[in-house]
Structure 1
Amino acid sequence: MLHSQTPAHEKRRAFRERLATGEILRFPGAFNPLSARLIERKGFEGVYISGAVLSADLGLPDIGLTTLTEVAGRGQQIARVTELPAIIDADTGFGEPMNVARTIQTLEDAGLAGAHIEDQINPKRCGHLDGKAVVDESTAIKRIRAAVEARRDEHFLVMARTDIAAVDGLDAAKDRAKALVDAGADAIFPEAMRSLEEFAAIREAVDVPILANMTEFGKSELFSVEQLAGVGVNIVIWPVSLLRMAMGSADRALDTLIDEGHLTGRLDEMQHRADLYDLLDYEEYNRFDSGVFNFTVTKERA
């Protein structure tokens, strides 16, 4: 009720233990706390919180306009309602290395299990757009070192994201990934890989877990979990998928309202009130205070 029952440090410890097994972990992107509850209900291993989704939710493009306060606030909202570990997109760390240090401690306090810091210039842009630019290796290393040194919980996952493949090629990405691991990164997020062979090359280059970003309409082919596991990927995210599905459905519903004046024909596409209340766990609130939940909802659609 109200929040997860597992303390943040225990989520982090359990997550790191499972990550160490080498199995591939599935982290769909949650666009709000309720969707995180649904991801948990469906049996996934974790929740991802995308900077692109948070930007879009605020009506902003993903070009570094969001603040640490906004990102940490949404991360806390999501992390507190699920027993799953949550990894959050921390962009370039919101400033210089000292800012990166503060970012990591703030995200720790928000209950996140980990975060990734990228090597784009600040302000950044979506990783699957052309025209990206990355910082030099020294700057990228300073960001990761600051993140690692700032954390207080050794199980908080500091992941280094590198966008350099789209700028200087795969060999540069391999070299950058090695340097970031040497700087202390617990995992590597090679952005905009175009093939399974490229993921395999990064896997061969480093001895820490790697993440695959399966975002639609981007540079990467949409590989299956099985394909990614076959080349040694340890975490796969679908960062914007649920938001895209929800917005697509909302778009069609609004068109139906314009055309027909009602949504009677789309009731079967909606989450039923009873399913929503079950997901929100109204009955648990009733055990706490019978004045909150004292009714039943039938599953009839009328």
Structure 2
Amino acid sequence: MRKTDSRTSAAPRRRQDFQNLLTGPTFTAVGVYDAISARAAESAEFSSLLVTGYGVAATYGYPDIGLLSQREVFDATERIVSSTSLPVIADADTGYGGVLNVMRTVEVFEQMGAAAIQIEDQTFPKRCGSMSGKSIIDVDEMRQKVNAAVTARTDASMPIIVRTDALLVSGLEDAIARAVAYEQEGADVILLHGTRSFDEIAECAGHISVPLAVISSESKKSIMARRSEYERAGARLVEFPLSLLFAQATMQQHYAKRLVEETTNRAVADDVMPFDTFTDFMAMNQWRDLEAKWVSATE
């Protein structure tokens, strides 16, 4: 159920939960893009969520090529944070500009109760890391952005996750050099995007002392393996940013086609969540209980 204090009083607990995950075994975060996907992930007992910029862009009808405004991403993140009790990683993309923009972005995400904030070193406008044509900013410019993000937060327990896209742009050596530089500026977690082998993960993990995160997407360019395999290579966090989005698109397209072909919803009724179940899924019983208390108090 959505609570009015979820972005304030719950934030320290969520950040502590995320810190605990970072100091434990390798864990996963699944990408969510709205309240429904967040509830689905929580009901499946994921331990943490990632706001996927790719997914949020898709809900607006756009590809992930930097077309969304900062405000649109803020709004989506706020809805997600308010709909779950899990720690949420906010996707800050490139920070939406220079160092001052980065600082404001961190400030807003922190105020809305994000458990961690993720920022990357692509040029603006950025694009999905799995797309061709990416470019990255100068390492010194990104060092300033990392320092700005770390300086802007008021709660030191909120990790700043810094992603480098250098691996697929300038190679492993540069990616490692950037990982080391970003750690020196205060990054709490390094996210190495574009890993194609466990050797690359192990090599990067061996050069930094902070936790290493990686991304696994449903792409021929990405490793898709069990959590234990990532753990052996040295990754602490594995992000699945696109899995729920692709599943939703696949299922909706499938059922839409069946509805057209069979001209009745009877064809899909047995395969989908019933009305009452979905109503419960959206916490209707809790709202009814709350309403009953207010009605009783008024009477």
TM-score over 0.5 for the pair: yes
| Unaligned ranges ≥5, structure 2 | 295-299
SS in 2 for 1:154: coil
For 1:146, the equivalent position in structure 2 comes to 148
SS in 2 for 1:148: helix
For 2:12, the equivalent position in structure 1 comes to 9
Kindly provide the CA deviation profile for residues 67-104 of structure 1, in whole angstroms up to 9, marking residues without a partner as x: 22111111111111211100021110000011000000
The residue correspondences of 1:157-236 to structure 2 (distance < 5 A) are: 157-236=159-238
Kindly provide the CA deviation profile for residues 233-285 of structure 1, in whole angstroms up to 9, marking residues without a partner as x: 11111111111111111111121122111232222321222321222222222
Q: Is the 8 A contact 1:120 1:163 kept in 2?
A: yes
Q: Which runs of 4+ in 1 moved over 4 A?
A: none
d(CA) in 2 for partners of 1:224, 1:217:
16
Does 2:264 match 1:262? Answer: yes
For 1:245, the equivalent position in structure 2 comes to 247
Structure 2 residue identity aligned to 1:89: D
How many residue pairs get aligned? The number is: 291
Kindly provide the CA deviation profile for residues 10-43 of structure 1, in whole angstroms up to 9, marking residues without a partner as x: 211221133123x112211112112212211221
SS in 2 for 1:237: strand
d(CA) in 2 for partners of 1:125, 1:282:
38
SS in 2 for 1:29: strand
d(CA) in 2 for partners of 1:31, 1:136:
30
Q: Is the 8 A contact 2:32 2:51 kept in 1?
A: yes
Does 2:23 match 1:20? Answer: yes
Does 2:106 match 1:122? Answer: no
SS in 1 for 2:209: coil
Please report the TM-score for the alignment, with normalisation by the length of structure 1.
0.92
Please report the TM-score for the alignment, with normalisation by the length of structure 2.
0.93
For 2:57, the equivalent position in structure 1 comes to 55
For 1:296, the equivalent position in structure 2 comes to none
Q: Is the 8 A contact 2:119 2:161 kept in 1?
A: yes
d(CA) in 2 for partners of 1:166, 1:93:
21
For 1:288, the equivalent position in structure 2 comes to 290
SS in 2 for 1:61: coil
The residue correspondences of 1:28-67 to structure 2 (distance < 5 A) are: 28-67=30-69
For 2:297, the equivalent position in structure 1 comes to none
Bigger shift: 242-251 or 30-39? 30-39
d(CA) in 2 for partners of 1:31, 1:194:
26
Q: How well do the aligned residues superpose, as a CA RMSD in angstroms?
A: 1.7
SS in 2 for 1:28: strand
Kindly provide the CA deviation profile for residues 30-58 of structure 1, in whole angstroms up to 9, marking residues without a partner as x: 12112212211221110111111111111
Bigger shift: 100-109 or 39-48? 39-48
d(CA) in 1 for partners of 2:107, 2:12:
13
Q: Is the 8 A contact 2:259 2:268 kept in 1?
A: no
Structure 1 residue identity aligned to 2:160: V
d(CA) in 2 for partners of 1:258, 1:281:
31
For 1:76, the equivalent position in structure 2 comes to 78
SS in 1 for 2:40: helix
d(CA) in 2 for partners of 1:205, 1:262:
59
For 1:136, the equivalent position in structure 2 comes to 138
Structure 1 residue identity aligned to 2:283: D
Bigger shift: 241-250 or 282-291? 282-291
d(CA) in 2 for partners of 1:205, 1:94:
29
Bigger shift: 186-195 or 268-277? 268-277
Closer/same/farther in 2, CA of residues 124 and 218 from structure 1, 3 Å limit: farther
Percent identical among aligned pairs is 31
Kindly provide the CA deviation profile for residues 168-198 of structure 1, in whole angstroms up to 9, marking residues without a partner as x: 1111111110000001100011111101111
Q: Is the 8 A contact 1:47 1:84 kept in 2?
A: yes
